[in-house]
Amino acid sequence: MTALNATHDPKLRSWVAAANVAGTDFPIQNLPFGRFRTAGSSEAFRIGVAIGDQILDLRAAGLVDTDDMNMLMNASVKDRQALRAAISAGLAEGSDKQAAWSKALLAQAQAEMTVPCRIGDYTDFYTGIHHATTIGKLFRPDQPLMPNYKWVPIGYHGRASSIGVSGQTFKRPQGQTKAPDAVAPSFGPSKRLDYELELGFLVGRGNALGEPIAIADAEDHLFGVTLLNDWSARDLQAWEYQPLGPFLAKNFASTLSPWIVTTEALAPFRAKFERPAEDPQPLPYLDAPSNRASGALDITLEVLLQTAKMRADGVAPVRLTLGNTTEAAYWTAAQLITHHTVNGCNLQPGDLLGSGTLSGPQPDQAGSLMELTLGGKQPVTLPNGEKRTFLEDGDTLVMRGWCERDGAVRIGLGEVAGTVVA
């Protein structure tokens, strides 16, 4: 686990004025990584760090000699911490780098962002116990959670090729569905399109094939965290998922925030990982004192919706739910990494591990419409009178995340937005 150091000092301020504005996602204590280029250009994407409303071009500032984000992610923890310290010192008030680095800034409003790294593989887990329980009750009232849920992190292999960055627009997926009273399935566009509020854990340094990552070392292999919307076609999913799990219901689109908030930036916002006493405790390979002491992340997550009519009327997105990861996740990122590799599987820099839907225990903390509307039985009424059971064409779904705690400066994960079209 990263120890607190000078880069986390709440008194630290930047010569980039926007970084000092209260409530900004990107103060100098954050410094998340992404890939950008000037909007409208054909330039190659470069590695940048968000600072206030600006992006610092790391190569132009002389901080890196590559535009390959995955190469940077493969660096040792020591080298990553040294780079963070150098960026922080150069952006701090009074730095002698101000004159030179000012020329390496680009306003975020003038930038085009892309997926923050090259994602070779994507595994989506199912760590949200309240989500799993609620969904389970809809399909299996007598046994909401399967017997293995509290013993082993459940996951499936997702599709990396259809992952896009915030602002992604995608077509409503088509596939087979089967009504309960139908003799045969039918083919057509999904009528039960949903979102899933997740965190994405991005792997830094990988491991060799056949060499598992011990839980005590797992955090050293985690580069950082981003927001993830794992769009889901619930009607396709219900028909296809047995016996091998999700397929077309999940692989048509997934959307990421453009920014990776590093594990170093998250150091002030760690929390204890505690299982209820009556629940099974993790098996020894998934347990470590460090994971129990501070393996969890304290991140507030928000979901907002803007319909096509709201957009036409100039109405801003409205909040659907608000929750926190400490109440939602049954497994930690370290446990996911360790379990993923315990059989010898080799992770690589840039691999994405989805947390699964992070719903809280209360109805207004749901991380999907499936939960929020109880499978479509209780429509959500929006302030303008529109109703939603599932997403309709033209809907834009926005997710935001941030960390705040006494004695630390608030940092944000940015936002991830996506729009479904016919």
In angstroms, rounded to a whole number, what is the distance separating the alpha carbons of residues 370 and 237? 12
Question: Which residue shows structure tokens 């955090």?
Answer: 219
Closest CA to 162 of 231, 246, 251: 251
CA atoms within 13 A on the CB side of 216: 3
- Which CA distances in Å does 378 have to 63, 190, 191, 388? 53, 19, 16, 9
131 in active site: yes
The verdict on whether residue 302 carries a ligand-binding annotation is no
In angstroms, rounded to a whole number, what is the distance separating the alpha carbons of residues 167 and 418? 5
Radius of gyration of the chain (CA): 21
In angstroms, rounded to a whole number, what is the distance separating the alpha carbons of residues 353 and 225? 10
| Helix locations, 231-355, DSSP H | 234-240, 289-294, 308-312, 333-341
Centre a 10 Å sphere on the Cβ of residue 404 and count the other Cβ atoms it contains.
Answer: 15
Closest CA to 290 of 344, 336, 332, 241: 332
The verdict on whether residue 298 carries a ligand-binding annotation is no
- Residue 370: which H helix or E strand, with range? helix 369-372
The verdict on whether residue 234 carries a ligand-binding annotation is no
The verdict on whether residue 392 carries a ligand-binding annotation is no
The verdict on whether residue 250 carries a ligand-binding annotation is yes
| Helix locations, 51-110, DSSP H | 69-73, 77-91, 98-101
Label the pairing between strands 261-262 and 254-256.
Answer: unpaired
| Cα torsion angle, 42, 258, 205, 158, sign | negative
The verdict on whether residue 178 carries a ligand-binding annotation is no
In angstroms, rounded to a whole number, what is the distance separating the alpha carbons of residues 209 and 347? 8
The verdict on whether residue 67 carries a ligand-binding annotation is no
Q: Are 3 and 83 in contact (CB under 8 A)?
A: no
- Which of 130, 131, 221, 340 is an active site residue? 131
- Name the strands in the sheet holding 54-57, side by side, starting at the edge strand that comes first in the sequence: 105-107, 54-57, 46-51, 33-38, 111-114
Cα 188 → chain centroid: 30
Q: How far apart are the first and last CA of the chain?
A: 45
In angstroms, rounded to a whole number, what is the distance separating the alpha carbons of residues 365 and 303? 9
As annotated, the binding site for Ca(2+) includes 124, 196, 198, 230
Q: Which residues are catalytic?
A: 131
As annotated, the binding site for Mg(2+) includes 230, 250, 254
As annotated, the binding site for substrate includes 126, 140, 237, 241, 357
As annotated, the binding site includes 124, 126, 140, 196, 198, 230, 237, 241, 250, 254, 357
